[in-house]
Chains A and B, each alone.
Chain A
Amino acid sequence: MVDEVYMEWLNLPLNMNLKAGVFKSEFGFLNRFHDHALPQFDRPRVLINMFGTGGLGGAGLETNFLLPPVIAHASSLDISVVYGSNPQSFSSETEAGFVFTSQFLNYYDLSASSYLEIRLSGAAGKNDLPVGEFNSYVGSAGIAYKWAPVGREKYRSLEWKTEFLYGLREYAGGSYKSKGFYSNIHNKLGARFWLGGRIGYSELPYDPSQSEWDYTISIDFWQSEFVLTRFQYQYNNRNIVNRIEIPGPYPSDHSFIIQVAWAMGPHKHEAY
């Protein structure tokens, strides 16, 4: 399956880059990540519950502005509009079913070996459940810290990402307010081994009385820069009885996952 197909025009007026095509929107830390590049096998439950397993994206336009670094060492603003519904927060498939997103990113160098990043993201669109056309909104605030000692990046690093999400979904008689978060640590122990952990909490955007916690631990083995084997244990503690599009029951469960991913092409240097 092709996740993204888009063209990007660089260096346009107003310090703007423009993207057109099918893509994942800039929203928080992990929405843009393709599945193979996630720090765990799966996305945090709060992202799945808010945007579905495919994340927030679709066909549309996205602009990225590089801002003057007034309050940070680097700042940027992303604004996008995509036509891409998901059954969770933005379920409308009518012509009004566009999803608008924006993200304000601030990056701070703490030292040559460490940095801090703060992202504020928002998404607005429509939902059509149970019947009608209602507004839906999701906002997020995230913070990330990374330490990678200069000259030893290949062997040691520690990355921590935490993101809080808040959803507001209108319906005929009022609105649902849901919330959730995830906190993820990824620790490089050597050239080949990573140890990861994640904790998360999420309420369903269409019924916040239903919720779930997830606890995850993973060990990654990189045979080379291009071949990954991952072992992941996950415990999902669910308080869920009814979900859209996913047949029940939904008991709490333990899972053990083995993931193998390999890649072709030149160096991968997407993340920093």
Chain B
Amino acid sequence: MLSLRERLLVRRLKNRDEKAFAELVSTYQNRIYNLVFRMLGDGAEAEDVAQEVFETVFKVIDSFRGDAQLSTWLYRIASNQCKNRIKYLGRRPKAGFADDGENGVPPSAVRGSSAPSPHAVLEGRQLEQAIATALTLLDDEQREVLVLRDLENLSYAEIGAITELPEGTIKSRLHRARMAVKSHLEAAGQVTASGGANHPLGDKE
């Protein structure tokens, strides 16, 4: 099941090879961070949890038996730690743009450059913002499958291996999650394929 490259990496990890560990972090940090960030919606929490994920890998690599892909195993650890953190924090995730310093242009500033047409499809950061908000409104279980499927582009089989959920459950959660995002985007005037958006976001400003 594991590729030769993965098997070698795992062996080196089990031997506590520092270079192997650096390789693991650089290979998977983007995917793990993105998953965690989208699950938690907060940059500082995401950094902390994502680092904790790799720290955990270092601690428990000996228990990795190779019956799943390394990435699946990492996603599983990440997903569980996100859920634990959410439980610990006891609150819904934030919208995800709060601490976005480097390109943190407020949506209203983007919109100012061109007046939205009546059927304006939300573009760029406005759409991003609307989706990020929609993600925070999902319940944790729905958000998990949606992020894995539509943001991380994983297959149903991979999602099943990560979440240990039956396929039927994954499908129904995914469906409800996508429908909820659709409703949110429609309410925000973002999905306009059918001309249904009468109130593009920001019209009131």
Partners in one complex: no
Binding site for A on B (CB under 8 A): none
